[in-house]
A and B are shown apart, each in its own frame.
Chain A
Amino acid sequence: MSDAPVTSNLRVPHSDALDKAADVEGRSLWQDAFRRMQANRAAMASAIMLIVLAVVCFVGPLFVPWTYEEIDWDLLEATPPNFELKHYLGTDSLGRDMLARLLQGGQVSFMVGILATSVALVIGVTVGAMAGFIGGRVDQFLMRFVDVMYAVPLMFFIIILMVVFGRNFYLMFLAIGFVEWLTMSRIVRGQTLTLRNKEFIEAARASGGSTTSIIIRHIIPNVLGVVIVYVTLTIPQVILLESFLSFLGLGVQAPMTSWGALIAEGAQEMEITPRTLILPAVCLSTTLFCFNFLGDGLRDALDPKDR
């Protein structure tokens, strides 16, 4: 996180507790948060683990002699790990290399996580900041809309979309993003509302800042902390949603695969080769765990109310 363009705004912390902390220690909010973050070993370990996982998933396939869809015609059945045949984690029941498929599944998960969360982020922050800052009718309308959307079982709608428009990879990102922005918008609105009445916003307005520039230069930088925390917690939810769809056979299309799809395949074969179930299950759970620990760690670091 580069704080160069926003430092001047971030001097104004978003809670009284921080106000005091900043006064006493003379450190910026972000330095303070970073120091607390480093002290949290679980969160730091999770962050490192996630980086390693992501690198392995995206770079690893270059070093695996098989592709995820390639069938080893000599095998055509589930084979345990065999270094001579270069199937380091064995193959699935069709003779496809497990390692290659796991890495491909990981790519899908990380991509869904980041792309769908970005969709949610853009919509959520825009709607939330607008509702909170403009207020009045706009706020009323937007929040009523969010209320209605909350009452709708959106998972069903994602599935309907997948049924109606076919299982399109990018549609899935969009659909999931469209579901996940709701909470984001509420959080950002709440934060914006409290900020709106603070003196430094008043000052910005008095010195002739336009609404857009106030939102971009003052509101967004100040809700950034909360947004980062929520993004970190949204990514695992999104990954989970994709895996859920793929598990039900409604996500990615074969021969492409994802951890959810691999778990579904593994569940069919677990009687003979529990490995095909356990490997993707471990990968998925580890990733979700790490994101959650990271998110909790960031929350504690950026929002020291609970100290």
Chain B
Amino acid sequence: MSTVLEINHLTVSFDTPDGAVQAVNDVSLLVEEGECVGLVGESGSGKSQTFMAAMGLLADNATVSGAIHFEGSNLLTANEKELNKLRGERIAMIFQDPMTSLTPHMKIGRQLAEVLIEHRGVGKAEARKQARAMLERVHFPEAERRLDMYPHELSGGLRQRVMIAMALMCEPAMLIADEPTTALDVTVQAQILDLLMEIKDSLGTAIVLITHDLGVVAGLADRVAVMYGGRIVEKGAVADMFESPAHPYTQGLLACTPRLDEDITALVTIPGQPPNAQSLPGGCSFHPRCTYVTERCKAERPILETTAKYRAKACHLDALEAAE
């Protein structure tokens, strides 16, 4: 397997009137060909900004350092023109809110076709034909008729299918899905996730799945990274992570996810509030909410240590000891 995307020591901060806000802190991550990587965290944990940086879509007040290598080029130093050659063609992204992510005054057919017209220079008629084919591929019913519809005439689920079709028009090497199902109904969520799975298998597209929902990751991802307060606190293969979560935060997340095969007596929550990126606690960012907190946790930031292949955690506690 070859590496598609390699993030090295990425740091993203935003310059605001109230001072600098560290959104992403020293994040490193690998995505390999045809695999699905889940990136899990609460809102504000920096998971979206990590990949916004990869797409060159950060807000103007952002400062980045580190490197993001994609198919041999560093995305952070690439200029707008070089980025535009890759975006939509080799690396594509779909967003959380399909209701507002499509241009309201353009017919969806045209929005799909323009990707091919721009990147492949095909004619309008050909682009439309391929747009229709791609819609059918993502199981979009009555594709031909709906090519001439405006986004507001479609349901949320259908719009997300349009977004996915649009992202796949050029059959990219990597697809970033940022909370693709959050805004959708539960039944539709499952359909969209099935679709992503199918795409990964049939097209061999590497998928990065950004989500706050561990359940989503469990079904789809090969590997998972958990982010907290702008840092990766634990990563590893899916089965491994679910079986023996090493970081207290991951344990907490898993405990919070209701499972069908267990009787629910009470919903478990992690006490406290997600950290504020403007004033992260010293030491381990998670220590104010951690059940196993020690003096060391308050004073010293744990580094992300590799414990096995693909497996790493940033916690002072011994995994087994924490689990007890």
A24 at the interface (CB under 8 A from B): yes
Could you tell me the distance in whole angstroms from the C-beta of B132 to the nearest C-beta in chain A? 41
A-B contact pairs, 7 of them (CB 8 A): A21-B18, A24-B276, A24-B278, A24-B279, A25-B18, A307-B16, A307-B17
Could you tell me the distance in whole angstroms from the C-beta of B99 to the nearest C-beta in chain A? 18
Task: Name the residue of chain B whose CB is nearest to the CB of A304.
Answer: B17
CB within 8 Å of B: which of A14-33?
Answer: 21, 24-25
Q: Which residues of A contact B276 (CB under 8 A)?
A: 24
Distance between Cα atoms of A307 and B16 in the complex (Å): 8
Distance between Cα atoms of A307 and B18 in the complex (Å): 10
Distance between Cα atoms of A51 and B276 in the complex (Å): 41
Distance between Cα atoms of A25 and B16 in the complex (Å): 14
Q: Which residues of B contact A25 (CB under 8 A)?
A: 18
Q: Which residues of B contact A21 (CB under 8 A)?
A: 18
Q: Which residues of A contact B279 (CB under 8 A)?
A: 24
Task: Name the residue of chain A whose CB is nearest to the CB of B276.
Answer: A24
Could you tell me the distance in whole angstroms from the C-beta of A121 to the nearest C-beta in chain B? 31
| Contact string against B for A residues 208-228, beta-carbon threshold 8 Å, 1 for contact and 0 otherwise | 000000000000000000000
A residues touching B (Cβ–Cβ < 8 Å)?
A: 21, 24-25, 307
Q: Which residues of A contact B16 (CB under 8 A)?
A: 307
Could you tell me the distance in whole angstroms from the C-beta of A266 to the nearest C-beta in chain B? 44
| Contact string against A for B residues 247-282, beta-carbon threshold 8 Å, 1 for contact and 0 otherwise | 000000000000000000000000000001011000
Could you tell me the distance in whole angstroms from the C-beta of B29 to the nearest C-beta in chain A? 28
Distance between Cα atoms of A15 and B193 in the complex (Å): 34
Distance between Cα atoms of A24 and B278 in the complex (Å): 9
Task: Name the residue of chain B whose CB is nearest to the CB of A23.
Answer: B276
CB within 8 Å of A: which of B16-69?
Answer: 16-18
Could you tell me the distance in whole angstroms from the C-beta of A37 to the nearest C-beta in chain B? 13
Could you tell me the distance in whole angstroms from the C-beta of B199 to the nearest C-beta in chain A? 35
Distance between Cα atoms of A25 and B279 in the complex (Å): 11
Distance between Cα atoms of A21 and B18 in the complex (Å): 10
Distance between Cα atoms of A24 and B276 in the complex (Å): 8
Could you tell me the distance in whole angstroms from the C-beta of A213 to the nearest C-beta in chain B? 34
Q: Which residues of B contact A24 (CB under 8 A)?
A: 276, 278-279
Distance between Cα atoms of A307 and B19 in the complex (Å): 12
Distance between Cα atoms of A307 and B276 in the complex (Å): 18
Distance between Cα atoms of A24 and B18 in the complex (Å): 11
Distance between Cα atoms of A307 and B17 in the complex (Å): 8
Distance between Cα atoms of A307 and B15 in the complex (Å): 11
Could you tell me the distance in whole angstroms from the C-beta of B103 to the nearest C-beta in chain A? 23
Could you tell me the distance in whole angstroms from the C-beta of B73 to the nearest C-beta in chain A? 34
Could you tell me the distance in whole angstroms from the C-beta of B302 to the nearest C-beta in chain A? 26
Distance between Cα atoms of A21 and B16 in the complex (Å): 12
Distance between Cα atoms of A21 and B279 in the complex (Å): 13
Q: Which residues of A contact B18 (CB under 8 A)?
A: 21, 25
Could you tell me the distance in whole angstroms from the C-beta of B279 to the nearest C-beta in chain A? 8
Distance between Cα atoms of A255 and B276 in the complex (Å): 65
Q: Which residues of B contact A307 (CB under 8 A)?
A: 16-17
Distance between Cα atoms of A24 and B17 in the complex (Å): 14
Q: Which residues of A contact B278 (CB under 8 A)?
A: 24
Q: Which residues of A contact B17 (CB under 8 A)?
A: 307
Could you tell me the distance in whole angstroms from the C-beta of A302 to the nearest C-beta in chain B? 15
Distance between Cα atoms of A151 and B16 in the complex (Å): 42
Task: Identify the 3 closest CB pairs spanning chains A and B, nearest first.
Answer: A307-B17, A24-B276, A24-B278
Task: Name the residue of chain B whose CB is nearest to the CB of A20.
Answer: B276
Distance between Cα atoms of A160 and B213 in the complex (Å): 66
Could you tell me the distance in whole angstroms from the C-beta of B195 to the nearest C-beta in chain A? 32
Could you tell me the distance in whole angstroms from the C-beta of A301 to the nearest C-beta in chain B? 12
Could you tell me the distance in whole angstroms from the C-beta of B250 to the nearest C-beta in chain A? 27
Task: Name the residue of chain B whose CB is nearest to the CB of A21.
Answer: B18
Distance between Cα atoms of A24 and B16 in the complex (Å): 14
Task: Name the residue of chain A whose CB is nearest to the CB of B273.
Answer: A23
Distance between Cα atoms of A25 and B278 in the complex (Å): 11
Could you tell me the distance in whole angstroms from the C-beta of A69 to the nearest C-beta in chain B? 52
Could you tell me the distance in whole angstroms from the C-beta of A300 to the nearest C-beta in chain B? 10
Could you tell me the distance in whole angstroms from the C-beta of A62 to the nearest C-beta in chain B? 45
Could you tell me the distance in whole angstroms from the C-beta of A13 to the nearest C-beta in chain B? 16
Distance between Cα atoms of A198 and B243 in the complex (Å): 43
Task: Name the residue of chain A whose CB is nearest to the CB of B17.
Answer: A307
CB within 8 Å of A: which of B181-227?
Answer: none
Distance between Cα atoms of A33 and B160 in the complex (Å): 40
Q: Give the interface centre of B16, B18, B279 by most chain A CB atoms within 10 Å.
A: B18
Distance between Cα atoms of A25 and B19 in the complex (Å): 12
Distance between Cα atoms of A77 and B210 in the complex (Å): 81
Could you tell me the distance in whole angstroms from the C-beta of A165 to the nearest C-beta in chain B? 49
Task: Name the residue of chain B whose CB is nearest to the CB of A39.
Answer: B17
Distance between Cα atoms of A21 and B276 in the complex (Å): 11
Distance between Cα atoms of A41 and B89 in the complex (Å): 48
Task: Name the residue of chain B whose CB is nearest to the CB of A36.
Answer: B17
Distance between Cα atoms of A54 and B236 in the complex (Å): 70
Could you tell me the distance in whole angstroms from the C-beta of A303 to the nearest C-beta in chain B? 14
Task: Name the residue of chain B whose CB is nearest to the CB of A25.
Answer: B18
Distance between Cα atoms of A21 and B21 in the complex (Å): 14
Distance between Cα atoms of A21 and B278 in the complex (Å): 11
